[in-house]
Structure 1
């Protein structure tokens, strides 16, 4: 069970760092060091590059840990789980497309800053408040879809279970942190959106309208 504990703690540490870098004090410090214009232009892109690099290190480290099989699901049930995972990935792809890949990555922020143009978002936010597509039904479709991708797998090991548990905890806490950032960025517009749109489980009868 050593691998289970290390995996859980490593994923939790990654999630904690991931969120820490987005806290208001860290972002204010970055703006103070870089200057407001440079902060708005480079912070999102730099954050995503760093998060991706750290995730690769994390996954490679977990893969090297001792592990034991837990359960293997086969047949039609496995096919159903893979279908759910693909559906989750498709939702994530639609969300990124709605935001815009360049804005989601932060590349548009960086390019606009380099050109001396207006940056499409206040530092970390991608730009305007997106309330269409999957965001019409839930406020955090990427987090919800991410949880589906994490859990809908047919082959489980102890380390895989630890990863899923820690990742789910991070996704929930990350959604709470995102709520605060969105309120800072969009104020009453986000409050109205939050009032009429559930966080994770859609209410199709209302369809996010209000």
Structure 2
């Protein structure tokens, strides 16, 4: 009588194992392909209308933000908590590969930096990758890709908890990951038309996404994150405006409102990272 449910459970577990491992294997491959793509997206296989590139750029940024929104996350109840991070990573991978395979090259060069300056810009590009990995390490690689909650499920452990404790670069500005990614986009000695479309679209996304992330973390953490916003700007040299420090004289939500919005630490970082 119990053979069928047991077989179903075994199949589901093996499916979960393959899903987690396969997602992260694809993630590693995608990171390497992204490195090559950001070095020279103009090496795309196809020439054509640059509107296609704009759509491909948006294909990455729109799902990337929507899947992190609390209301969207709450509706996707068919995805178990330990697998949501992997699911999010898998969607990101699929969108990036659409960009890699469908990108349209354009020979029009908007500007080109020659000589020693070009090598310096390339060095800054590589430095941005170092800064990106450093920034992600501060918040936990496993939280960014979904590995940490998936590994806890695999081991049969309770969902891991993760506190909000800004360290390293996060003590000086709120969005070091976004800033590092800006470097990956802009540090290029050659700016072609198709690259300009990519850089422009993803730059807008980065600044808009950082505001959305502030809103998500304030929603989940309440006054604790608001206090952090008042002390630390979003980006270096931006001490004002929506990406600067939050004005201390702005009205805070009531304690009751903050209590409603505040979630357990594990929930906060699973949904808002």
| TM bin (shorter chain) | 0.7 to 0.9
Structure number with greater CO (CA < 8 Å, separation at least 6) is 1
1:19-70: CA deviation from partner (whole Å, max 9, x where unpaired): 112222220012x334xxx32x1111210122022212212211xx241231
Give the secondary structure class of the aligned counterpart of 1:33: coil
1:65-102: CA deviation from partner (whole Å, max 9, x where unpaired): 24123132221111121122122111111112112222
1:51 maps onto 2:96 in alignment: no
- Checking the alignment, whether the CA contact within 8 Å between 2:132 and 2:176 is kept in structure 1 is yes
Match of residue 19 from structure 1: 65
Match of residue 154 from structure 2: 114
CA change 1:130–1:146 in 2 (3 A) is farther
The match for 1:87 among 127, 134, 148 is 127
Match of residue 4 from structure 1: 50
Give the secondary structure class of the aligned counterpart of 2:236: coil
1:134-182: CA deviation from partner (whole Å, max 9, x where unpaired): 1111101111111111011001210001000001011111111111221
Q: 1:56, 1:134 → 2: CA distance?
A: 30
Match of residue 214 from structure 2: 179
Question: Taking structure 2 as the reference length, what is the TM-score of the superposition?
Answer: 0.65
Match of residue 231 from structure 2: 196
1:98 maps onto 2:138 in alignment: yes
C-alpha deviation, 1:2, in angstroms = 5.8
- Structure 1, unaligned runs of 5 or more: 122-126
CA RMSD in angstroms, aligned pairs only: 2.2
- Checking the alignment, whether the CA contact within 8 Å between 2:132 and 2:181 is kept in structure 1 is yes
Count of aligned positions: 193
The match for 1:166 among 194, 201, 205 is 201
Give the secondary structure class of the aligned counterpart of 1:201: coil
Q: 2:165, 2:90 → 1: CA distance?
A: 23
CA change 1:130–1:7 in 2 (3 A) is farther
- Structure 2, unaligned runs of 5 or more: 1-46, 239-244, 246-273
The match for 2:117 among 66, 69, 77 is 77
CA change 1:130–1:9 in 2 (3 A) is farther
CA change 1:187–1:98 in 2 (3 A) is same
For the pair shown, which has the larger CA radius of gyration, 1 or 2?
A: 2
Question: Taking structure 1 as the reference length, what is the TM-score of the superposition?
Answer: 0.83
Q: 1:66, 1:194 → 2: CA distance?
A: 41
CA change 1:56–1:130 in 2 (3 A) is farther
Q: 1:43, 1:93 → 2: CA distance?
A: 22
